[in-house]
């Protein structure tokens, strides 16, 4: 099956980036749908800002910027977004019930052979697929933030995902300029978070136990393990609340050993969520 039109459901942090990559790199016609005009406007503003940065660096021309924007169709109408789409990528908030509601609606309005994918970072693909009548045409497409710059995509097979669906999504991902990693089993955390979350949790434990300062822990991991960013800085970027949510899914679905360190839970309760709240392990207001 050849992908020509893509629908992205959600214009937020991930949705606008996925829309841009699909329109800019893969040159697909893309319908970006959200539920409020302000969300759509904000998504388009972020796409514009990103395109201007590519333009300043000389990576694209003014004409190409205009072509990308012509290929993007922002809309509040779900039917308009999905009716002719060959691939529908759901990128709404990381909430199972909300995702299922959106996926069930999209499923009834989409053409019968359209593929539906979810950009979840932790929720079971099989569970989300059950909200549709096409579990064999459903898979996970976990983009990394920001999608415009990060090369990796995890493609996750649900219990009923067909080989055809998987292959089509791998090809579409490559066309979007991504390096796909196929996750053959639908397990919590997939590949990256399965390795990353325990590492981040261990860094929080070092702070909690007073072993070293956040600055020194970050410095040790950057220089000792050659990470581009220290684990506590990364936590502040990801959002402590998002990280806590992933630990809870992994604890419930996999093993109690993935349980969040008490300091992580306490900081989330205190609203110290990292960069988005202005303060986490570091002060971002400066």
Catalytic residue check, 193: yes
Catalytic residue check, 154: yes
Catalytic residue check, 73: no
Single out the catalytic residue among 50, 90, 154, 201.
Answer: 154
User: Are 10 and 92 contacting, i.e. CB atoms less than 8 angstroms apart?
Assistant: yes
Catalytic residue check, 142: yes
Single out the catalytic residue among 50, 119, 124, 193.
Answer: 193
Single out the catalytic residue among 50, 119, 121, 201.
Answer: 121
User: Are 17 and 45 contacting, i.e. CB atoms less than 8 angstroms apart?
Assistant: no
Single out the catalytic residue among 124, 142, 173, 261.
Answer: 142
Question: What residues have CB less than 8 Å from 127, skipping those under 6 apart?
Answer: 96, 100
Distance CA 112, CA 15 (A): 23
Distance CA 65, CA 51 (A): 6
List residues with catalytic annotation. 121, 142, 154, 193
């Amino acid at each position: 099956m050849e992908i020509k039109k893509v629908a992205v459901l959600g214009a937020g942090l991930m949705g606008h980036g996925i829309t841009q990559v699909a329109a800019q790199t893969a040159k697909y016609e893309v319908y970006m749908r959200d539920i409020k005009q302000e969300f759509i406007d904000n998504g388009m503003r972020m796409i514009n800002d990103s395109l201007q940065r590519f333009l300043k660096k000389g990576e694209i021309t003014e004409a190409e910027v205009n072509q990308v924007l012509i290929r993007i169709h922002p809309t509040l109408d779900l039917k308009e977004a999905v009716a002719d789409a060959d691939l529908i990528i759901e990128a709404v908030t990381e909430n199972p019930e909300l995702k299922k509601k959106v996926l069930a609606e999209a499923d009834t309005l989409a053409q019968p052979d359209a593929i539906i994918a979810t950009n979840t970072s932790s929720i079971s693909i099989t569970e989300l697929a059950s909200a549709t009548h096409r579990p064999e045409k459903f898979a996970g497409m976990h983009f990394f933030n920001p999608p415009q710059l990060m090369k990796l995509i995890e493609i996750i097979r649900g219990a009923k995902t067909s080989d055809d669906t998987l292959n089509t999504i791998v090809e579409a991902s490559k066309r979007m300029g991504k390096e796909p990693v196929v996750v053959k089993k639908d397990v919590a955390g997939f590949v990256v978070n399965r390795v990353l979350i325990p590492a981040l949790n261990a860094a929080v434990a070092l702070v909690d136990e007073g072993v070293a300062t956040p600055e020194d822990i970050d410095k040790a991991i950057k220089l000792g393990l050659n990470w581009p960013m220290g684990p506590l800085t990364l936590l502040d970027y990801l959002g402590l609340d998002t990280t806590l949510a992933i630990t809870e899914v992994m604890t419930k679905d996999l093993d109690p050993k993935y349980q969040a360190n008490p300091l992580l839970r306490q900081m989330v309760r205190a609203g110290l969520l990292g960069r988005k709240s202005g303060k986490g392990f570091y002060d971002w207001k400066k």
